[in-house]
Homo-oligomer: A and B are copies of this chain.
Amino acid sequence: MTTSRVTIKEVAARAGVSKGAVSLAFNHKPGLSEATRDRIFRAARELGWAPNPTARTLAGSRVDVVGLAVCRPARLLGLEPFYMDFVSGVESVLIERNCSLLLRLVRNVEEEVGLQEAWWRGRQIGGSILVDFRADDPRVAAVERLGMPVVAVGHPSLTGTLTSVWTDDATAVTEAVRYLAALGHRRIARVGGAAALGHTAMRTAAFDEAARTLELAGAWQVTTDYSGEAGARATRSLLTAAPPDRPTAIVYDNDIMAVAGLSVAAEMGLGVPHDVSLLAWDDSQLCRLTRPTLSAMSHDVHGFGAEAARTLFGVITGEGPGSHPVPTPVLTPRGSTAPPGV
């Protein structure tokens, strides 16, 4: 069974409708009665006809599907608020365009390169959203070679010639450390995300630089897998030292690790913020649901996802390469940060 010899015209003739009506039915547009839609689909089935997605895309009329590959263990994907909030932002733009998201987990970036190529060559997608950039990311050259439309979610220093949407992580980390130092903290730790990611490295470098500039008495950084369990372990390890060798403030790379840190402080009999200040990142609704509420570097992750999707549609419709910063995370002080208790 192939779609070779049948044309949309023949399907329309058999169904007794116009070619436009066939197009409406297959593009899932309103305006046809149920009976007419049924007749069209029956005619197409009988003739073995299916729309050619390529033809639709090449005609520039619309894109049905955009791709997103995520390299993360399935289990972690479900635990971290960031990705679901990001995806929900992407979907908020796709729904307005009757467009679906083709979502796939991959094991490593090489697998993603092969996948994006197969998706694009196989004409399954009109473009892709690329995330989690690393230094010397092989996706940059692969996409250039393929000429496929993508938006790269990552700092321009990592995303090469690709159109990028990014947050200024270095500035935000610096602001976080400065705020804690201004409160009087001299021993500050950071519980970071995955070491392999480019933006983790940028935050790490910015933290080091800020600690040096501010001449902190103590500065610690650890990397994790972003899970609550890893955040709890890191916090327990940091807070185990006796007071002069222990941080009085900790900044986290996401929310769930900060929530876990709050729980560990309570378990160890340490008051927040009296004994230790905690500062979360991203600021999902979790931060407003804890006691005390969590101060956070607020980042509109939903809006970040929406901006990535909007930018991808710009690339698909032919906009030239560009760099699109979204607003830098801003400090939202709540109940978990204060001057160090004496």
User: Which of A53, A55, A91, A123 has most B Cβ within 10 Å?
Assistant: A91
Contact A289 B259, CB 8 Å, known A84-B77, A85-B79, A100-B102: yes
**Alpha-carbon distance between A83 and B87 when the two chains are bound, in angstroms:** 12
Stretch with Cβ within 8 A of B (4 or more), from A43-51, A196-204, A246-254: A43-51
CB under 8 Å from chain B, chain A span 263-293: 263, 266, 284-286, 288-291
CB under 8 Å from chain B, chain A span 215-248: 227-229, 232
Stretch with Cβ within 8 A of B (4 or more), from A2-10, A13-21, A176-184: A2-10
A160 at the B interface (CB under 8 A) = no
Contact A88 B75, CB 8 Å, known A259-B286, A289-B228: yes
A212 at the B interface (CB under 8 A) = no
A330 at the B interface (CB under 8 A) = no
How many residues on A have C-beta within 8 angstroms of the other chain's C-beta atoms? 77
The answer on a CB contact under 8 Å between A5 and B3 is no
- Residues of B close to A54: CB separation below 8 A: 1, 3, 50
CB under 8 Å from chain B, chain A span 39-89: 41, 44-45, 50-55, 58, 64-65, 67, 74-79, 81, 83-89
Closest CB in chain B relative to A291 CB, distance in Å: 5
A211 at the B interface (CB under 8 A) = no
**Alpha-carbon distance between A83 and B85 when the two chains are bound, in angstroms:** 11
Mask, A288-331, CB within 8 Å of B = 1, is 11110000000001100000000000000000000000000000
What is the oligomeric copy number? 2
Choice from B27, B78, B105, B302 contacting A85 with Cβ under 8 Å: B78
Stretch with Cβ within 8 A of B (4 or more), from A113-121, A162-170, A185-193: A113-121
User: Which of A76, A232, A263, A301 has most B Cβ within 10 Å?
Assistant: A263
Choice from B50, B105, B121 contacting A44 with Cβ under 8 Å: B121
**Alpha-carbon distance between A80 and B292 when the two chains are bound, in angstroms:** 21
The answer on a CB contact under 8 Å between A104 and B94 is yes
Contact A285 B256, CB 8 Å, known A28-B115, A88-B78: yes
The answer on a CB contact under 8 Å between B118 and A28 is yes
A194 at the B interface (CB under 8 A) = no
Contact A87 B77, CB 8 Å, known A1-B58, A101-B102, A263-B290: yes
- Residues of B close to A64: CB separation below 8 A: 124
- Residues of B close to A228: CB separation below 8 A: 285, 288-289
- Residues of B close to A289: CB separation below 8 A: 228, 232, 256, 259-260, 262-263
Closest CB in chain B relative to A23 CB, distance in Å: 12
The answer on a CB contact under 8 Å between B52 and A2 is yes
- Residues of B close to A53: CB separation below 8 A: 122, 124
* Sample of 19 A–B contacts (CB below 8 Å): A3-B4, A3-B52, A25-B118, A26-B122, A28-B114, A37-B117, A45-B121, A50-B123, A64-B124, A77-B84, A77-B87, A78-B84, A78-B86, A91-B103, A95-B104, A102-B103, A259-B290, A260-B289, A290-B290
Instruction: In the A-B complex, list the 6 residue pairs whose CB atoms are closest, starting with the nearest.
Output: A78-B88, A74-B92, A78-B85, A28-B118, A84-B84, A100-B104
